[in-house]
Amino acid sequence: MDSQGLKPRLATIWLGGCSGCHMSFLDMDERLIDLALRVDLCSSPLVDVKEFPNVDVTLVEGAVANEAHVHELEIVRARSRIVVAFGDCAVTGNVTAMRNAFGVEDVLTRAYRSTSAVVVGVPDGADGMVPRLLPRVRPLHELVKVDYFLQGCPPSADEIYTFLNELLEGRTPTIRRFG
Amino acid sequence: MTGRIEINPITRVEGHAKVTIDLDERGEVARARFHVLEFRGFEKLCEGRPFHEMPGIMARVCGICPVSHILASSKAGDRLLGIEVPPAAVLQRRLANYGQVLQSHALSFFHLSSPDLLLGMDADPRTRNLFGLVAQDPDFARRGIRLRQFGQRIIELVGGSRIHPSWSVPGGVARVLSSSACDELKGWLAEAYATVDIALTRLKQILDRHTEEVEHLGSFPSLFLGMVDDEGRLAYYDGRIRIVDAEGNVVADRLDPGRYAKYLDEASESWSFMKHAFYKPMGYPVGAYRVGPLARLNVATTAGTQRADRELREFKQRSSGAVCASFHYHLARLIEMLHAVEKIEELLDEPELKSHEIRAKAQLNRRQGIGAAEAPRGTLFHHYEVDDDGLIVRANLLIATLQNNAAINRAVEQAAKRFVRADGLQEGMLNRVEAAIRCFDPCLSCSTHALGQMPLSIEILDAAGTVVDRLARPDQV
Amino acid sequence: MTPEELHQRRDKERAKRSTEEDHLLCCTAAGCLSCGSEDVLHSLRDAVKTTEANVRVSGTGCLGLCSKGPLVKRESDGAFFGGLSPESAAALVPGRADLVDRQTLAEHRIEPTTPFFALQQRIVLENAGRTDPERIEDYILADGYEALSKAVTEMTPEEVLSEVKKSGLRGRGGAGYPTALKWELVAKQAATTKYIVCNADEGDPGAFMDRSVLEGDPHRVLEGMALAGYAAGASQGYIYVRGEYALAVQRLEKAIRQAERERILGNRVLDSAFAFQVDIRVGAGAFVCGEETALLASIEGRRGEPRTRPPYPPERGLFGKPTLINNVETFANIPPIIRKGGDWFSSIGTERSKGTKVFAVAGKIVHTGLVEVPMGTSLRTIVQDICGGVPGGGKLKAVLTGGPSGGAIPESLLDLPVDYESLSKAGSMMGSGGLIVMDDETSMVDVARYFMEFCMDESCGKCIPCRAGTVQMHDILARISRREAEPSDLEMLAKLATLLKETSLCGLGQTAPNPVVSALRYFREEFDEKLVKHPLAENTSRTASERRE
Amino acid sequence: MSVKTLKIDGEMVTGRAGETLFNVAWDAGISLPRLCHVGGLSDVGACRLCVVEVEGQSKLAAACVTPVEEGMVVHTNTERLREHRRLLIELLFAEGNHVCSVCVSNGHCELQDLAVQLGVDHVRLRYQHPKRGVDATHARFGLDHNRCIFCTRCVRVCDEVEGAHTLDVSGRGASLKIICDLGEPWGQSETCTSCGKCVQVCPTGALYLDGASVGEMEKNRRFLQYIVTAREKREWIRKG
Amino acid sequence: MTPSTDSGSRKAAPASPKSKAIRDNREKMLERSMSRHAYAGNALIEVLHTAQELFGFLSPALLRRVASKLHLPPSRVLAVATFYNFFSLKPKGEHTAVVCLGTACYVGGAVDLVQKLEHRCAKVGATSPDGKVTVQVARCIGSCGLAPAVILDGQILPRVTPDQLDAVIDRILASPEAAPADSASQ
């Protein structure tokens, strides 16, 4: 897929995570302004464009934890030239995947049934109002091809900047850490 | 025509959520609900872990306000140890907390909401964002970015990293704060004051143009809850709970946050991962209350710092009782930022801040520990029960946004009824519904212990549930 | 007992037998026992008491045709009788033909000329159908302990070794290491204390050759061990028997008691200066203990975890002393080699694989049981001619050899001669001799998964590739079975297979991927057919509760 | 004592007879990846990370348990070895519950370091998410089974250096577990001397000092050589 | 996991201690077994075999006694006891049903038998809630000619079908309080 304009098109998306990676993205601070000149941030939780466009690079934060995530990830993969697993949850499942040692039912019961004084309903997705949880939280690459892995909880702003910079300069970013 | 409109996703909020709007036969809004679509199950996944690890794990509830979770979690840990935390550690924690209030509020105001306020509710959604703001008003945008940077820098220098710093632990903190760090932070103060001033001035100027929004984006009477110190001043790190009603009367005061379960409780609904909190004596759903900047300014007698108090007095004149317009969360947020900068200045001059006595050690001395702190979005409670060996048996988190859930739902319905017309649906109408949510700066990540984002589509369904109309954003075709 | 006494005992026994009218031998190996052969044996004995006839009735070792049990052999005409009830069996006793009608007995009769018996050549199993495993006299009558007697009276240890070398015998435990080389290594060690260990931890699922030898001819194994002890300069032997083989343990215990009582084993073996005694160690259920270093650890009372080699057991083995380890079948081959000479033995078999091999044939096959054939016999002969092929006219798909360390040999390669090299070239291995027949209803993916599950359960866990790698390989195979895997999973499966083969600490891990590799080699299409391109599309169409990870 | 000359990665090196390839390589400045080996304890050759290629041998050799031989030609860093090592590390991550970001050893973990060193940027295998517990009963130490990789350093140091043999490994295969005495909680052990050596030799965050929070658990292993030399040679040498 | 397999099996062990006299006797027998091995540590597995035969399972107290008599660290005794499938740290049910999962049995449909037992009695490795049946699997009992085979209380049932197994379970469950295992050997 070719970029439409001159600037490479960048998107970010968050799945099952804490948004810390996005915050770390914002921690690039004034370099964001520089970045805005060099890339076109087409889609992101930070902007109002909601239908996912065709882009060159997508940073995906978070693990795949529910059925909606699976659907979104498929769209992202289909419309992105490069998919980056952005942060530990996307790369390994991280803390989000700690629930895997327990079953979905146990987790929902603990969170909703046994802590609320009033239980009108439990959001198990049965009524279609919220997405069903997957039985197992999974890292991105178990579901789609991932081109780069950017580790860290979260990756530091410097790491994100260096990574994007390498990518923009046409070089292959190298890994520096695990976890 | 009965039907349902779905706004999915809500953008420029921290999290995964959607709104459904149910229409009656005449095509008018009958009901609107705010659904949070994320869930990670922290209450369960931490079971069996040593309580010493909880600040680290709980930080991951939220990347926007990790410090709040770390503090509430460390404080719960302090209780489990049953010890008094060294003064330097308390000062460091306070400092980081103000840094957090500053960066989080800056994010909410400059990065997420100011596009609505400064570019307009009906502006082109493609540029109605921080980068659009950069293009239109680069200086203002840069100031916003730098104000957030200051807050983050405080956290970084105190805690070792900006996000999820593993520095505050049960018993105190793990790092000594250096003089050079303090000196660097002092260097940021002047610019921070200036930026907050500019933002306050800008916001007050445009309030006149937003009377519709002030009146209809969640303006209703309710209870307000927040922590204050014994003199009724704002207290973010420690304080006791005060609840006021819409008239500004104190309903309850000096409640011990450690006994929150005596007066607060939660309800679950199947249509949202976010639970609903309520004030126990009044029951669910009438006991719903609001927390966060607006609530804190409503419950506080004074801010306790000079410049913020000046703004607070002016703020309180906007209503005879409590300020009930949710739109004024924005203003409250700016006033809190001013207060935070003043407190930061105050703390940086504390000689004890740099002390090397930062951590008290002890064995486990209690089976239950509750820690509370004012997070940017409101009061946050962490409640742990451990076994004889200090492993978590049960954890409960009562999170700020969750306590605003009922209010957000009400605001959404109010906004939808006022602005949404099923015939001739326009994007700007829906953006106002979203703006109602943004007032609360809901951190959905926190409130459901997770976070995400969804594609937007609005579908109008007939009584049988089939789609009769679908509204796409202009760029979506 | 002196050698002379041994011969006298043999002659005396022979004389006694010559006066007997007939000898009925009822199989008392585990297979027939579980079909009621004990009752048959009792019935025969009772029937004899009711007649005047001088008929000997004995238990005997596995006659091989387990699918027809309980089996009785009649010595007078060499005929076999299968599927007998106690009542019908009694009619075999001369003079009691009245017990059933002629026709019934004929139905049970199996001619010794049937291919199952006619096409076999028995060395290891020569005493099955000849001797009673519980009587040392029977063994002696069948030239038992003759080789040991010859060795301690006429031969030097070097000469014993040289006969074994001449025989070309290779280890029957699987890998086919030349037996004499191993013996030599131990023999040349200077240490005063050395050990002989018999590996009777036959763990391959589908293999029961050693069990039959232990149950049917325990003295033969003791004699083989004693000969090894003589050649290698060791005076203590251990037999490490699977805990599951209780009957084998019982018979071995009895055999050892008898041999000690007759002073065939003990401080002065057959009145010579050579001392040799044997103790039994009973395993406790761990497949990995078939690996020699793990087996030694287990004898020492430790966890059966393998250790790295070198040092090899011939240098440092049991309790740190030089140790010779061979398996049951290997030791069982030794007495005839010494008795008849290495040249005789090496005339049987192929260029590089000498002698015979015992196979336990099971699976989708008409005649399940034990088969002993010369090396070089084709698999087709074993499966089709001797064992009668797939029952019910089904189509033979593959033969698994070598158990969890071996692999599948497709029907097209059945003309392969059975020897160490051919089998490993075909991607399998001789293994201990289990041979499982698969028909076309068997899924090779499933079989590969089954063996991987076995290795996963039996991995001791000491080294990473085996402990965690078998889990991952099993996970992938299970997902392939459930049609949830994609092509990249198959690539990872191959990567893991290489990793396990090349980096695992012991043979269990190194050979664990073999069934998978061979299934992929010959039956790749069965795997490909189960792969999905987009497992996601399928996953999301189902509800969370239905989906199993 | 005879000296063996051999070639490692093209360099001629010498070692004493009986010395392991690992140590000779180490002296020559070649540090092989390892998790089970630690100087001062017996070698078990369990982690297989130090496998090397020896010319003329079809099998790979674990350097920590392979004695040097005259004329050996050894390669320690070929593509094949790197790929194997990488996969071994991935197997470990997939096997346990290693949540680096919230681990007490984050930043000071040998497993994590090796992942970086070997270029493991993600784990291609399925995470097993076993349900394992934490033994926090000891007053001074904790044992988080989730992070255990069964290198058995703790078991060996407890047996060989401290002499208590409080720790051992129970079960087998995927259900291995480090145990104290007869499986009692550590805090109730009658044989544990609370010396803490096990904690210090543990390469991951499985064994930690009580009260440690994220990233705080730095291990110190220098004592080990000191004690072993002192015990064996009656020489008290503090290195570095 | 796997008990002894056929008619030549070691005597079935009494699951519950009877009178004190018998228990004392058992302890004496264990003592004798250890003394026969000169209390050598390398006899651990043999001693554990004996202990389990005598007492039915290896209780912590039993392991502790063995450790102390053989002068072994307790952790090593547990390490060994848990390594081998034969040793059981928990008491077994009145009956034990072992399904052979060797290749021949597997190919012959042993999985269906496992499912049947799991459905009717208990999961593999567990004992039914009424304490009647312990379900186990074995990795080849070496009776491949009889596949698929189930060992019920030491007796091999050859070529079992799920229906036959059903009938066997019916019989077991219908039987009154089973006679203590040791009375069967008298």
Q: What is the pLDDT of residues E56-73, one digit of tens each?
A: 899 999 999 999 999 999
C526 CB-contact burial (10 Å; exposed 0-12 / middle 13-18 / buried 19+)? middle
Q: Each residue of E89-132: pLDDT tens digit? A: 988 888 889 998 877 788 788 889 999 999 888 888 888 888 88
3-state secondary structure of B384: strand
Q: What angle do CA B313, B315, B320 make, to 5 degrees?
A: 90
Quick check: B232 pLDDT over 90?
Answer: yes
Indicate whether E8 belongs to any domain: no
Question: Which residue's structure tokens are 């290896």?
Answer: E58
| Chain-chain contact of C503 with D91 (C-beta, under 8 angstroms) | no
Q: What is the mean pLDDT of residues C141-163?
A: 96
ipTM of the complex: 0.90
Q: In this predicted structure, what is the pLDDT of residue D225?
A: 87
Give me the percent of chain B exceeding a pLDDT of 90.
58
Domain with CATH 3.30.70.20 in chain D: 96-233
Of B210-214, C114-118, E176-180, the one with minimum mean pLDDT is E176-180
Specify the CATH number for the domain of residue E161.
Answer: 3.40.30.10
Q: Is the model more confident about A123 or about B446?
A: A123
DSSP letter (8 states) at residue D64:
G
Which phi and psi angles does C359 have, rounded to 5°? Answer: -120, 145
Q: Is B179 on the interface with A (CB under 8 A)?
A: no
Residue C510 has what DSSP assignment?
H
Tell me the Cα Rg of chain A: 17
Identify residue C243 by its one-letter amino acid code: G
Where do the CATH 3.10.20.740 domains begin and end in chain D? 3-77
CA distance from start to end of chain B: 26
Q: Please check the confidence at residue A3 and state whether its pLDDT lies above 70.
A: no
B157-166, C326-335, D222-231: least confident range: D222-231
Q: Tokens 């790369």 identify what position? A: A91
Check residue E156 and give its pLDDT: 82
- Residue percentage of chain C with pLDDT more than 70: 97
Residue C309 predicted with pLDDT over 60: yes
Quick one: average pLDDT of C142-147? 96
Instruction: Report residue C392's pLDDT band, with 50, 70 and 90 as the boundaries.
Output: confident
Q: B347: helix, coil or strand? A: helix
Topology annotation, domain C445-528:
de novo design (two linked rop proteins) (1.20.1440)
Beta strands in chain E (DSSP E): 95-100, 133-138, 150-152, 155-157
pLDDT recorded at residue B462: 43
Residue B451 has pLDDT above 70, yes or no: no
Residue C545 in this model has a pLDDT that exceeds 90:
no
Chain D contact for A96 (CB, 8 A cutoff): no
**Whether residue B257 has pLDDT greater than 90:** yes
The reply to whether D22 touches chain C by the CB within 8 Å rule is no
E108: DSSP letter: T
CB contact under 8 A, D59 and C502: yes
Tell me if D172 and E79 make a contact (CB, 8 A cut-off): no
Phi-psi region of C415 (alpha: psi -120 to 50; beta: other; left: phi over 0): alpha
Q: For C497, name the nearest residue in chain D, comparing CA atoms only.
A: D84
In percent, how much of chain B has pLDDT > 70?
Answer: 89
Average model confidence (pLDDT) across chain C: 91
Tally A–D CB contacts below 8 A: 62
E12 within a domain of the structure (yes/no): no
| Closest-approach residue (CA) in chain C for A65 | C544
- Rounded Cα distance between A168 and B2, Å, is 50
Q: Taking residues B354-379, what's their average pLDDT?
A: 95
**Interface contact D216, partner B, CB < 8 A:** yes
- Name the phi and psi angles at E108, rounded to 5: -85, 5
- Write down which chains contact chain E via at least 3 CB pairs under 8 A: C, D
- E101 and E70 in a common domain: no
Average pLDDT on B269-297 reads 86
Domain presence at residue E65:
yes
Whether residues E110 and E60 share a domain: the answer is: no
pLDDT at A144: 93
**Mean pLDDT along residues C367-382:** 93
In the block, which residue shows the tokens 């658990």? D217
Q: Say whether residue D120 is in contact with chain C using an 8 A CB cutoff.
A: no
Q: What's the confidence (pLDDT) of residue A118?
A: 60
Interface test with C, best of A136, A138, A146 (most C CBs within 10 A): A136
Q: Which helix (H) or strand (E) holds B240?
A: strand B240-244
CB contact under 8 Å between A107 and B44, yes or no, is yes
At C428 the pLDDT is: 80
pLDDT at C369 over 80: yes
Chain B: partners with 3+ C-beta pairs within 8 Å? A, D
- Which amino acid, residue B84? E
Q: Contact E8/C247 with Cβ under 8 angstroms?
A: yes
Burial D9-37 (b: 16+ CB within 10 A, else e): eeeebebeeebbbbbbbbebebebbbbbb
Is E1's pLDDT higher than 50?
no
**pLDDT single digits (tens) C71-124:** 999 999 999 999 888 988 888 888 787 777 777 788 899 999 999 999 999 999
Range of the domain at E149: 95-184
- Nearest to C151, CA basis, from C164, C142, C160: C160
Q: Is D65 on the interface with C (CB under 8 A)?
A: yes
E8 has pLDDT over 50: no
**Level-2 CATH architecture, domain D3-77:** Roll (3.10)
Question: Across-strand partners of C80?
Answer: C73, C110
Helix then strand then coil, in percent of chain B rounded to 5, is 45, 20, 35
E99 and E179 in a single domain? The answer is yes
pLDDT confidence band for C546 (50 / 70 / 90): very low
Taking the CA atoms of residue A54, residue A57, residue A62 and residue A64 in that order, the dihedral angle to the nearest 10 degrees is 50
- Per-residue pLDDT band for C167 (boundaries 50, 70, 90) equals very high
Q: Are A15 and A69 in contact (CB under 8 A)?
A: yes
- Surface of B (88-107) touching A: CB under 8 A: 107
Which of D201 and B273 is assigned the larger pLDDT?
A: D201
The alpha carbon of B47 is separated from its chain's Cα centroid by a whole number of angstroms, namely 26
B 343-362 residues with CB below 8 A of D?
Answer: 361
Which domains can be identified in chain B, with CATH numbers?
3-37+412-476 (no CATH), 84-219+326-361 (1.10.645.10), 225-324 (no CATH)
- Phi/psi region, residue B12 (left: phi>0; alpha: psi -120 to 50; beta: rest), is left
Domain presence at residue E33: yes
* CATH fold of C144-346: Rossmann fold (3.40.50)
Quote the pLDDT of residue B458. Answer: 36
Class of domain C19-111: alpha beta
Residue D56 CB neighbour total at 10 angstroms: 8
Q: What's the pLDDT tens digit per position in B307-317?
A: 999 999 999 99
Please write the tens of the pLDDT for every residue from C41-60. Answer: 999 999 998 888 889 999 99
Spatial CA neighbour of A73 closest among E119, B471, B453, B225: B453
Average of pLDDT values for C307-333? 95
Q: List the single residue in C with minimal CA-CA distance to E87.
A: C284
Q: Give pLDDT, residue B354.
A: 95
Among the ranges given (C314-323, D144-153, E166-175), the one the predictor scored with the smallest mean pLDDT: E166-175
pLDDT at A49 over 90: no
Query: Cβ neighbours of residue C95 under 8 Å, at least 6 residues apart?
Result: C51, C52, C53
Clarify whether residues E48 and E102 are in a common domain. no
> Whole-number mean pLDDT of chain A?
85
d(CA A39, CA C434): 66
Residues E70 and E107 reside in one and the same domain: no
Give pLDDT, residue B11: 67
**Residue A92 burial (CB < 10 Å; 0-12/13-18/19+)?**
buried
Q: Distance between CA B449 and CA B396 in Å, rounded?
A: 11
Per the prediction, chain B carries an average pLDDT of: 86
Domain spans, chain A? 9-101+134-168
CB contact under 8 A, D129 and A101: yes
DSSP structure class, residue A178? -
Measured CA to CA, the distance from residue B43 to residue B39 in angstroms comes to 11
A178 in contact with D, Cβ within 8 Å: yes
pLDDT band at C362 (very low <50, low <70, confident <90, very high): confident
Q: Residue A114's pLDDT band (boundaries 50, 70, 90)?
A: low
CA distances from D215 to B171, B241, B425, C389, D104 (A): 16, 34, 53, 65, 4
Q: Which is it for strands B378-386 and B392-398: parallel, antiparallel or unpaired?
A: antiparallel
For E22-53, what is each residue's pLDDT tens digit?
556 888 999 999 999 999 999 999 999 999 98
Instruction: Locate E90 and state its tokens.
Output: 């928990």
Q: Per-residue pLDDT tens for A91-111?
A: 999 999 999 988 887 877 776
Q: Which of D42, D47, D87, D128 to mutate to test the interface with C (most CBs of C within 10 A)?
A: D87
Q: Which of D159, D183, D191 faces E78 most closely, judged by CB atoms?
A: D183
Superfamily of domain A9-101+134-168: NADH:ubiquinone oxidoreductase-like, 20kDa subunit (3.40.50.700)
CATH ID of C357-436, from 3.10.20.600, 3.40.50.300, 1.20.140.10, 3.50.50.60: 3.10.20.600
Question: CA dist B165 to B156, B185, C267, E31, Å?
Answer: 8, 18, 75, 60
Average pLDDT over residues C464-488: 96
Quote the pLDDT of residue D3: 93
In the predicted structure, residue B251 carries a pLDDT above the cut 50:
yes
Neighbours of B238 (CB within 10 A): 17
For residue C169, count CB atoms less than 10 angstroms from its CB and return exposed for 0-12, middle for 13-18, buried for 19 or more: buried
Class of domain D96-233: alpha beta
Looking at the structure of chain E, the number of domains it has is 2
- Report the residue from D133, D136, D213 with minimal CB separation from B390: D136
Looking at residues C150-164, what average pLDDT do you find? 96
As a whole number, mean pLDDT of residues D1-25 equals: 93
